[in-house]
């Protein structure tokens, strides 16, 4: 073993260290306690551009920049005094100054070495220029990136704003469209409604025209008999020029004239009532009155219209209280039904007029012992102009029952009947009684 690792001589060790010192890539300096450069390697020469001979023996601060250049000796002195290392064994970045005056960043590591009688400091310096440049480059790139980021963010914000504006515009446009669509729909509905109304009005107009022309043909037929009666009776009454002996004849013809005029008046009244109903001109006007008194009034008025020997038999039940109704319409209803009862029954026959109030409903029954209504005609009795086949020789318009039915509609009431040919008919009416505002 001993032969394999023979102890090296001092010269050999010196040469070994010298070789390492010379071949090192980093710059190496040794200085004494006063900062005087004792040695420097070729890498140091290369780094600073000085020949070793130009530096050795001079203060190391010649290779430094301010403020280290000025303070370097103080650093060493303070260290020797306090033994508090600021750099030794720690290392730090410093600035170096080349022979040509340019400066460079360096990594400095310093170590202290005690020789037999004195101490020296060794500094190893590594050029940081490339690293610093790379760092700067990175910093710049980062800055550029940040700038780009900022720009991008700005652009994104701007685009976002533009987009939200566009979205808002779209939303308001959409709202406007919805509004317009609604308006159009409303206009369409209104148009359709007015079209409907127009069509209805036209239909009504047509119905009225038809009614009028039917009335003209009916009137020309129905008017002929009473008018010819008026004419012939007037002629005859005129012919009886005698005194007392002709008086009876004259008054007979005058009565005929009166009856004929009455017939004409009732035909005209029917038509007038119907026209008013058709044009919705009839409005109910309720008043407060006593039913019993009202019936006596109507009976009195109708007495003159009855055939000889006919009389109205009134039967009342619970009719003492006051009612609140359209008196004129009620009179019209009873008038129509009683005049039918009289017209379609013989002389001397009774006409029953029954009235009763039950649970706030007025029931009226008009009964006669007359010709009755053929069964096959009964379904059509309330139609306009309809007349049963057994009344051909009795004057009439066929409007009365239709008018009655329509009046009852206005009062919220209704009508029905039972009839048997040759026995008679009973017409039944019901009218709800509203509470009087006067009560």
Helices (H), strands (E): how many in the chain?
9, 12
In the list 96, 123, 398, 413, the residue contacting ligand ADP (rule: CB under 6 A) is 398
The binder of 218, among ligand ADP, Mg ion, none, by C-beta within 5 to 8 A per type, is: none
User: Which is nearer to ligand ADP, 388 or 433 (by Cβ)?
Assistant: 388
Count of Cβ atoms closer than 10 Å to residue 392 Cβ:
7
Q: What is the footprint of Mg ion within residues 339-368 (CB under 5 A)?
A: 340
**Helix 244-278 vs helix 400-411: crossing angle, to nearest 10:** 50
Rounded distance between C-alpha atoms, residue 109 and residue 92, angstroms: 7
Query: In angstroms, what is the minimal distance from the CB of 234 to ligand ADP?
Result: 25
In the list 96, 226, 372, 413, the residue contacting ligand ADP (rule: CB under 6 A) is 372
Q: What is the footprint of Mg ion within residues 163-222 (CB under 5 A)?
A: none
Q: Where does this chain touch ligand ADP (CB under 6 A) — which range of 134-142, 320-328, 340-348, 428-436?
A: 340-348
Query: In angstroms, what is the minimal distance from the CB of 319 to Mg ion?
Result: 25
* DSSP result, 334-399: HHHHHHHHHHTS-TT-EEEEEEEEETTEEEEEEEE-S----GGGGGGTTSTT---TT-TTS---S-
Q: Which residues pair with 322 in a beta bridge?
A: 290
Q: Where does this chain touch Mg ion (CB under 5 A) — which range of 9-17, 155-163, 176-184, 337-345?
A: 337-345
Query: In angstroms, what is the minimal distance from the CB of 341 to ligand ADP?
Result: 5
Q: Where does this chain touch ligand ADP (CB under 6 A) — which range of 26-34, 95-103, 174-182, 393-401?
A: 393-401
In the list 282, 341, 415, 433, the residue contacting ligand ADP (rule: CB under 6 A) is 341
Q: What is the footprint of Mg ion within residues 389-428 (CB under 5 A)?
A: 400
Binding pattern to ligand ADP, positions 149-168, x when CB under 6 A?
Answer: --------------------
- Indicate the DSSP class of residue 435: P
- Indicate the DSSP class of residue 29: E
Binding pattern to ligand ADP, positions 399-438, x when CB under 6 A?
Answer: xxxx----------------------x-------------
User: Which is nearer to ligand ADP, 277 or 391 (by Cβ)?
Assistant: 391
Q: Does 109 bind ligand ADP (CB under 6 A)?
A: no
Are the CB atoms for 290 and 320 separated by under 8 Å?
A: yes
For 121-183, what is the HEC assignment? EEEEEEECHHHHHHHHHHHHHHHHHHHHHHHHHHHHHHHHHHHHHHHHHHHHHHHHHHHHHHH
Judge if the upstream peptide bond of residue 198 is cis by omega within 30 degrees of 0: no
Are the CB atoms for 292 and 319 separated by under 8 Å?
A: yes
In the list 396, 406, 413, 415, the residue contacting ligand ADP (rule: CB under 6 A) is 396
Give the chain's end-to-end CA distance (angstroms, integer): 147
Q: Where does this chain touch ligand ADP (CB under 6 A) — which range of 25-33, 292-300, 314-322, 366-374?
A: 366-374
Whose CA is closest to 400, among 281, 275, 294, 274? 274
User: Which is nearer to ligand ADP, 84 or 389 (by Cβ)?
Assistant: 389
Q: Which residues contribute to the site for ligand ADP (CB under 6 A)?
A: 340-341, 344, 368, 370-373, 381, 387-388, 391, 396-402, 425
Q: Which residues contribute to the site for Mg ion (CB under 5 A)?
A: 340, 400
């Amino acid at each position: 073993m001993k032969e394999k690792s023979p102890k090296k001589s001092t010269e050999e060790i010196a040469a070994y260290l010298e070789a390492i010192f010379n071949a090192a890539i980093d710059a190496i300096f040794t200085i004494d306690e006063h900062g005087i450069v004792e040695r420097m390697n070729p890498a140091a020469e290369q780094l600073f551009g000085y020949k070793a001979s130009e530096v050795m023996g001079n203060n190391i601060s010649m290779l430094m920049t301010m403020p280290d250049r000025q303070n370097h000796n103080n650093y060493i002195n303070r260290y020797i005094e306090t033994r508090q290392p600021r750099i030794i064994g720690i290392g730090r970045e410093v600035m170096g100054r080349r022979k040509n005056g340019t400066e460079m960043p360096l990594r400095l590591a310093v170590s202290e070495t005690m020789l037999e009688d004195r101490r020296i400091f060794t500094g190893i310096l590594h050029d940081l220029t490339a690293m610093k440049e790379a760092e700067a480059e990175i910093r710049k790139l980062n800055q550029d990136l940040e700038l780009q980021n900022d720009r991008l963010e700005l652009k994104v914000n701007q685009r976002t704003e533009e987009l939200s504006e566009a979205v808002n515009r779209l939303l308001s446009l959409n709202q406007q469209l919805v509004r317009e669509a609604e308006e159009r729909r409303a206009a369409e509905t209104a148009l359709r409604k007015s079209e409907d109304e127009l069509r209805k009005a036209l239909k009504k107009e047509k119905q009225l025209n038809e009614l009028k022309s039917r009335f003209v043909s009916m009137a020309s037929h129905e008017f002929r008999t009473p008018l010819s009666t008026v004419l012939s009776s007037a002629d005859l009454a005129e012919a009886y020029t005698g005194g007392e002996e002709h008086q009876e004849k004259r008054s007979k013809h005058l009565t005929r004239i009166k009856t004929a005029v009455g017939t004409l008046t009732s035909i005209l009244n029917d038509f007038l009532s119907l026209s008013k109903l058709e044009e919705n001109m009839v409005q109910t006007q309720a008043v407060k009155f006593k039913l019993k008194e009202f019936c006596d009034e109507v009976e009195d008025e109708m007495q003159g219209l009855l055939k000889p020997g006919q009389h109205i038999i009134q039967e009342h039940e619970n009719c003492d209280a006051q009612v609140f109704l359209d008196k004129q319409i009620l009179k019209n209803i009873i008038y129509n039904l009683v005049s039918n009862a009289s017209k379609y029954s013989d002389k001397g026959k009774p006409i029953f007029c029954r009235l009763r109030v039950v649970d706030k409903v007025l029931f009226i029954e008009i009964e006669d012992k007359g010709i009755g209504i053929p069964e096959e005609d009964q379904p059509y009795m309330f139609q306009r102009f309809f007349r049963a086949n057994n009344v051909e020789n009795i004057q009439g318009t066929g409007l009365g029952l239709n008018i009655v039915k329509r009046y009852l509609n206005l009062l919220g009431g209704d009508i029905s009947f039972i009839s048997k040919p040759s026995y008679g008919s009973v017409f039944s009416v019901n009218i709800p009684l509203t509470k009087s505002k006067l009560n």
